[in-house]
Each structure stands twice: as structure tokens, then as C-alpha cells.
């Protein structure tokens, strides 16, 4: 985390704090930003002052806190414009549903919204609200409109909430927000690119109790998503049933079955520059789904299986398609099967790895990859999935840069 923190050195941050129970976390955020060398000025809405006092932020930031557009002393010299010009980064954390709605509509009815309109600095928001409020269509539409205007949306995280409910809507922790700001400021090779990643297994239901699955943990795909985001890309992650935290700044779509994964991937593939298919999608599903639990008996039972849709092959047949990167997890003749997959599905690149080996592949922190394309093979060697993901993302960035129209 130190690398992320130190990248804030000298950065002038205006931190906006809106009304919500998560406002107390902004105090830790000020401290973390200052530990990294940032200079912080805090602007609080009227609602925020109901949860935490301006004096707390003044003590932590070392500067007076601005709370009103009608502060006679500050506004005598057009203080809100001066503050807007001073900022190199505006971060609103927590950002309430009300604030997001007002920002979308260009309201300037308090100091914080006025400042956001008046600044030329990049603006980032870290939403925090009840999970039902976050899921509401109006909030989701507002978030998408803000993203379309270049506002960075950081989080939210998922978990227990002060209201007693559980779900997405928690403010990211201070260390996560500092890391996310560092990512935003890093000029990575994928800045301006959209990367689609699929990860984890799929579950193909047999009956309401049982399902077919595989041993994929999702770690490789999640590592690729995190590396692509760190390289500056806008990342969408389609995740099968896994217990992994969403990488900071990544949009996550949870699915269960191969059919659901296909639907989610195809819905986002048209706007993606590259699709990294790291998911271990089931090859077969039960021909029929039993509506009731199948009871055990002494008799043998056959399970009739039918093939699932081949997502990569379907995309490979399109005239207009993203750069396609597949994974070949094999137990033997790894490179031969990888090259066959490359040709059969019309892929640009295959990351081949041997599974069934102690300490690498499925359910492991490490892996060993070889990149295979139409004319060559390049061994990345063995390493952590995080290290290999970074190497793969570097390769993807290089290939995208060489594409016509890049």
C-alpha cells in the first residue's frame, strides 16, 4: 500500500463530505492522504455536519473547513472559485444518493456542487448509501451519466450496513480510496481502453440442491481485472460464483450459469477493446433441470448432458470484435491443445497453463503461463497470479496499440 500512498505526494485534494453515517470514515481518509504527502482542504455539506463536526476535519487537515457558499469572509474574494482553481483532484467521499442526483443535473445550490461545476480538476465520487438506494434505477442511471462525463466512481463495497441490511453501498475504506486515486493519476498503457474480463466457474444446476461445477477459484481472472484497471482501463468483470473482493474501480457483474455468463459477456463485448476469457465456463449442462430434489436410491442413475454455448467461438466469428484472449487449462499436451483452441475459436491470443499440478493452476495462488498466438509461443514462466496478470495485461496493451485505428 505504501506505493499507492506515496503517489499522492504534493497532490492538492479537495475532499467533499456529504451527509451519511459513513461521514466518519472521511476523517481517516484525510489522515491517509496527508500521510502520503497530499494537501487536503475539506468541504462539508449541511447534512455532513449532522454526523461529524468541521472541527474534526480542521484538526486533521490543518486548514479551516468550508461549509457554506454564503461564508462572507471567504466569499469576499470569491472563495469557492479560488478553491476550485486550487484543487488538482476533487474527491467526494462519502457521496450520498442526493448528492449524485444533484451533480448529474448540474445543481449549484450549495458550496460542494458549485465547486464541482467550477473546477477543471478531475472529479471522483465514492458512493455510500443503503443497498436498496444504490440498486434503485434512478441512482444507477445517475452513476452511468456521471461516468459518461468522466467522473470516476469509486466503489461502493458490499457488506453489512448501519441500517442492518447487507449488500452493495458501503463506502470504500480509506486505504482503498487512496489506492484508487493513485490508479486514476497513473498514466497506464490502457488508459482510455475498455477491457472485459470473465472469471471463476459456472454452476449448472441439476436440481434445486445439486449442480455441476469445477475447481476454478477466479483468482486469475480477478488478478487480470485488477491489473487492467491499474493500467488505466475501464474494466468490466463478469464473475461466476466466487468469494473474492471486487478490485477497486472495477465494475462487477455476478452470474451463476454458462448461459448467464454468455448473456453478460455478449451485452458488453461490442464496446470492449479486449475480452479476456479467464472464466472456466462449463462445457456441459444437464439436459433437464429437476424441479424437486432427486432422491437417492440403490439404483444407478444416468445424467443426460448437453453442450453449453461457446462464448469465445461465438465472438470469434464476428467481423467486428474485440481483441480475444482465451485461456487453455490442460492436464497434458498443453501447447498443442492451446494452438488448436486458438485456431478453432478464431482467437488472437491464448494463455496456456497446465492444471492438476501441485501448487499451480486451480485453487492456487500461483500459476505458469505460456502465451500462444498464430506465429509464436512465449513463456511467461511461473509466478503469482498477480505477477502473471500484469505481464498479460502488458502484452494486451502492446497488441491493442498495434491494431489498425489505435
Query: Which 3 state secondary structure label does DSSP give 253?
Result: strand
Residues 78, 117, 163, 209: which is the catalytic one? 163
Spell 178-201 as b/e; 16+ CB within 10 A means b.
Answer: bbbbbbbeeebebeebbbbbbbbb
**Distant-in-sequence, close-in-space partners of 397: CB < 8 Å, separation ≥ 6:** 188, 189, 190, 193, 231
Nearest to 285 by CA among 202, 356, 349, 357: 202
Concerning whether 116 is annotated as a catalytic residue, the answer is no
Per-residue CA distances from 224 to 65, 184, 187, 198, 399 (Å): 40, 17, 18, 9, 16
Spell 43-72 as b/e; 16+ CB within 10 A means b.
Answer: bbbebbeebbebebbeebbeeebbbebeee
DSSP letters of 16-73? EE-SSGGGGHHHHHHHHHHHTT-EEEEEE-TTGGGTS-HHHHHHHHSSPPB--TT-HH
Instruction: Dihedral sign for Cα 35, 37, 39, 42, please.
Output: negative
* Percent helix, percent strand, percent coil in the chain, to nearest 5: 35, 25, 40
Cell of 190: 490502457
Nearest to 353 by CA among 373, 380, 375, 376: 380
State how beta strands 349-354 and 366-372 pair. antiparallel
Reported for 209-214, long-range contacts at CB under 8 A and 24+ positions apart, including other chains, are 209/293, 210/293, 210/294, 212/282, 212/284, 212/285, 212/286, 213/241, 213/282, 214/280, 214/282, 214/362
- Intra-chain end-to-end CA distance of the chain, in Å: 33
Greatest CA separation for the chain: 88
Positions marked catalytic: 163
Amino acid at each position: 500500500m505504501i506505493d499507492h500512498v506515496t503517489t499522492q505526494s504534493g497532490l492538492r485534494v479537495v475532499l467533499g463530505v456529504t451527509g451519511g453515517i459513513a461521514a466518519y470514515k472521511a476523517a481517516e481518509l484525510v489522515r491517509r492522504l496527508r500521510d502520503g504527502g497530499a494537501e487536503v482542504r475539506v468541504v462539508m455539506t449541511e447534512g455532513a455536519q449532522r454526523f461529524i463536526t468541521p472541527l474534526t476535519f480542521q484538526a486533521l487537515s490543518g486548514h479551516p473547513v468550508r461549509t457554506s457558499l454564503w461564508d462572507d469572509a471567504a466569499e469576499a474574494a470569491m472563495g469557492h472559485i479560488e478553491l476550485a482553481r486550487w484543487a488538482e483532484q476533487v474527491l467526494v467521499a462519502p457521496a450520498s444518493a442526493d448528492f449524485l442526483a444533484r451533480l448529474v443535473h448540474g445543481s449549484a445550490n450549495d458550496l460542494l456542487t458549485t465547486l464541482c461545476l467550477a473546477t477543471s480538476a478531475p472529479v471522483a465520487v465514492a458512493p455510500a448509501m443503503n443497498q436498496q438506494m444504490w440498486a434503485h434505477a434512478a441512482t444507477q442511471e445517475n452513476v452511468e451519466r456521471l461516468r459518461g462525463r468522466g467522473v470516476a466512481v469509486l466503489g461502493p463495497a458490499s457488506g453489512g450496513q448501519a441500517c442492518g441490511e447487507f449488500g452493495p453501498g458501503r463506502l470504500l475504506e480509506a486505504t482503498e480510496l487512496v489506492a484508487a486515486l493513485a490508479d486514476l493519476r497513473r498514466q497506464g498503457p490502457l488508459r482510455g481502453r475498455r477491457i472485459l474480463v470473465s472469471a471463476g466457474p459456472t454452476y449448472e444446476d441439476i436440481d434445486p440442491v445439486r449442480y455441476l461445477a469445477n475447481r476454478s477459484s477466479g483468482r486469475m481472472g480477478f488478478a487480470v481485472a485488477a491489473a487492467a484497471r491499474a493500467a488505466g482501463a475501464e474494466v468490466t468483470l463478469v464473475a461466476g460464483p466466487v468469494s473474492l473482493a471486487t478490485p477497486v474501480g472495477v465494475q462487477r457483474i455476478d452470474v451463476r450459469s454458462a448461459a448467464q455468463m454468455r448473456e453478460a459477456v455478449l451485452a458488453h463485448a461490442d464496446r470492449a477493446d479486449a475480452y479476456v476469457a479467464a472464466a472456466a465456463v462449463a462445457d456441459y449442462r444437464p439436459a433437464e433441470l429437476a424441479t424437486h430434489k432427486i432422491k437417492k436410491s440403490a439404483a444407478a442413475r444416468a445424467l443426460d448432458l448437453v453442450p453449453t454455448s461457446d462464448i469465445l467461438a461465438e465472438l470469434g466469428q464476428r467481423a467486428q470484435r474485440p481483441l480475444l484472449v482465451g485461456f487453455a487449462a490442460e492436464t497434458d499436451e498443453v501447447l498443442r491443445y492451446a494452438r488448436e483452441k486458438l485456431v478453432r475459436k478464431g482467437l488472437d491470443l491464448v494463455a496456456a497453463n497446465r492444471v492438476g499440478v501441485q501448487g499451480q493452476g486451480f485453487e492456487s495462488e500461483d500459476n505458469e503461463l505460456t502465451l500462444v498466438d498464430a506465429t509464436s509461443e512465449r513463456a511467461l514462466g511461473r509466478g503469482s497470479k498477480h505477477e502473471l496478470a500484469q505481464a498479460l495485461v502488458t502484452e494486451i496493451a502492446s497488441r491493442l496499440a498495434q491494431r489498425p485505428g489505435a
